[in-house]
Every structure is written in structure tokens, then in C-alpha cells.
Amino acid sequence: MADNILITGPSLDPAAARLLVEAGYRPVYVPAYADGNGLIVAMAAADPVGILARMGHVGEAALNAAPRLAVISKHGAGVDNIDVDAASRRGIPVLNAAGANAVSVAEHAIALLFAVSKKVIPLDRGIREGRWEKSGFQGRELAGSVMGLVAFGAIARQTARFAKALGMEVRAHDPFAPADVFAAEGVESVEDLDALFAASDIISLHSPLTPATRHLVNAERLELMKPDAIIINTARGGLIDEAALSAALARARIFGAGLDTFAQEPPPADHPFWSESRLVLSPHIGGVTAAANRRVGIEAAQGIVDILAGRPVPQARIVNRAKLTIPA
């Protein structure tokens, strides 16, 4: 009987699923955002040798229910929905597929920026409700604006290319990116994050969520921003202090924000964001395109197959490599 690979979601791109099957494994799916006891029960029933993590949180209790588990591979870049420390204590490598969805997520960042800056949502709503709000409307031109990128990985670099093509000046803050990466993209490196917030017309977040980056957009940094500044977040919701952002928007401290991610997903029904017209929101779908799903799914599945076969994987893909001994 084939060993199981648990997919924490209801589906996987057919090419990625086929890759697992052809390698001799059986994909087992769980409902979207299965969490807590539901995931533990599914884990115990499947007894998987690998997890392909899509939706919901894979915590220590779930790992305890899978004694044969040998690898976790994230369907994407961010691994904050995986208890990496617990996996590391068990000697389980955690892989990601950073960069495979860069084009799609960067496109979505630009789409959110246009929707916020051009007020597309309220204008569309007005027409549908019988209002013709041309009189008194004043649009906003993005060419010539300064976009500040927080982190400068694959998605941020693709976002920079799109922004520059639209006539924007791009600067970025990333203490871990080498100077030649900034030079290759023609993007100015800004060491002081506060200075980046103060000087930018647009802040686009691309950082992973870590204890150091949690709430990097806080009340203090919002006060530094220009009154017509825009925040875009296609990374992780926890990067923003949502209460502080709600307060800033309520008093028009900044122009608006476009958010694809939230601290709690889905957000609660009483979240203050729902009443804020300066926000454009989407349900964490920046990388959910047919092309990106195929690339990310195949890369995530191939990582599982390679680890289980004892084949080397690029060290940069093993997010907990410093705590493990994995074939190079």
C-alpha cells in the first residue's frame, strides 16, 4: 500500500498531485482551514510520511499524531502556519517554495495599489447604486511616486520591476539582501526602516512573519507616513497592527490600504476593517492563479519526493536547515 502525503487543503494542482502518485505516494486531502482536533484526527488516520501544507495551522499536536512524518513542504513561501520549532525538534525538514508564485503575487500587489489609489471599489459601487460621481472627483496619478518595499525577496523584486515600468521610483529595506541584488534591480537600499516609511508614497510589505517583524506597521510608523500614503500587504497579516491601522484610517491619517492577508484568516465578523471605505480587501489569493498554483504545487511536491528519496534539495529551500543535518 502506498504511503500517504497529507494535503492541508481540499485540492492540489493536478500536475503536482500526479507527481506524488507517480512517485508511489497517495495524496490525502483535508477540508480548507482544518485546524485543531479536526487536523489531528485526519493526521492520525492518514499516518502520513509527508505533509504538503496549504491552509490552516500545522501545530505540534498535529505533528505528534504523525509518528512516521519525515518532511513538511509549504505550498508557498511563508511558513508561519507551521510549527517549525516542533518540526525541528523531531528532525523534520520544513521546505518552502519561495519565488514560484512571485509574478502572480506581485501582480496582485499592483492590482490592489490601483484599486486603492483610483478608488475603483467605491466608484463601482456608486454607479451600481445609481450615482454618477464624476463631479468633484479628483483622481491620483501613480507615475512619479516613491514605492518603499519592506524586504527584497523574489516577490518584492518582481513588484519593483512592475512599479518601475509604471514610472515609479523604488526603494527597499532588507538587511539580509546583499548589495548586488539591489544594484541588479536598480533599486536603492534604505537601511533605516523608519526613514523608508517617512519618505515613501507607497509601502508594500513582502517580509516573512517573525517575532522581529510582527506589527512592524504600528501606530508609531503610521504617524511617520505621508497623509496621502498607501499601504499594500500581500505578505502576512501579522506584519500590521490592525487596530492601529484601523485607527489611522478612521481619522484619514493615510490615504488607504490594500490588504490580501490578515492576522486571523478569515477575519472575525466584527472586525473594524469591514466599515472602512479606505480599504480594499481580498482573501489571501495573491498567489492563487492557475500558473502560480502549478509552479508552487509542483515545487512543493517535488521537494517531498526528493527528501523521501534521499535526494538533495537546494539548501535555501529548507527553512530550518540550521537545526538539521540534511544531505546537501
pLDDT 10s digits, 268-302: 999 999 999 999 999 999 998 999 999 999 999 99
Average pLDDT over residues 302-320: 94
Given a cut of 80, whether residue 36 has pLDDT beyond it is no
Q: Write out the three cell numbers for 209.
A: 512573519
Distance, CA of 84 to CA of 78 (rounded, Å): 11
pLDDT of 328 above 60: no
Over the stretch 210-241, which tens digit does the pLDDT of each residue have?
999 999 999 999 999 999 999 999 999 999 99
Q: What is the mean pLDDT of the chain?
A: 94
Please indicate whether residue 315 or residue 195 has the higher confidence score (pLDDT): 195
Residue 307: what pLDDT? Answer: 96
| The pLDDT of residue 283 | 96
Active site residues: 236, 265, 284
pLDDT at 304 over 70: yes
Are 107 and 159 a contacting pair, CB within 8 Å? no
Predicted TM-score of the model (pTM): 0.85
> Any long-range contacts for 164-167 (C-beta under 8 Å, 24+ apart)?
166/110, 166/142, 167/142, 167/143
Percent of all residues in the chain with a pLDDT value above 70, rounded to a whole number: 98
Q: Where does CATH 3.40.50.720 sit in the chain?
A: 4-99+290-323, 140-281
pLDDT at residue 72 is higher than 50: yes
Among candidates 247, 276, 251, 270, which has minimal Cα distance to 259? Answer: 276
pLDDT at site 96:
93
Q: What pLDDT sits at residue 98?
A: 81
Q: For the domain made up of 4-99+290-323, give the CATH fold.
A: Rossmann fold (3.40.50)
Q: Which CATH superfamily is domain 140-281 in?
A: NAD(P)-binding Rossmann-like Domain (3.40.50.720)
| pLDDT of 325 over the 60 cut | no
Q: In what order do the strands lie in the sheet with 3-7?
A: 25-29, 3-7, 50-53, 71-74, 94-95
Confidence check: pLDDT of 176 > 50: yes
CA distance 124 to 201: 24
**pLDDT number for residue 174:** 97
Average pLDDT over residues 45-49: 96
Q: Is the pLDDT of residue 56 over 90?
A: no
What is the rounded CA–CA span in Å between residue 210 and residue 238?
9
What pLDDT score was predicted for residue 32? 82
pLDDT at 327 over 50: no
Note the pLDDT tens digit of each residue in 89-115. Answer: 999 999 999 888 999 999 999 999 999
Range list of β-strands (E), 36-173: 50-53, 71-74, 94-95, 146-150, 169-173
Read off the pLDDT band of 181 (50, 70, 90).
very high
Closest to 10 (Cα-Cα) out of 27, 34, 29: 29
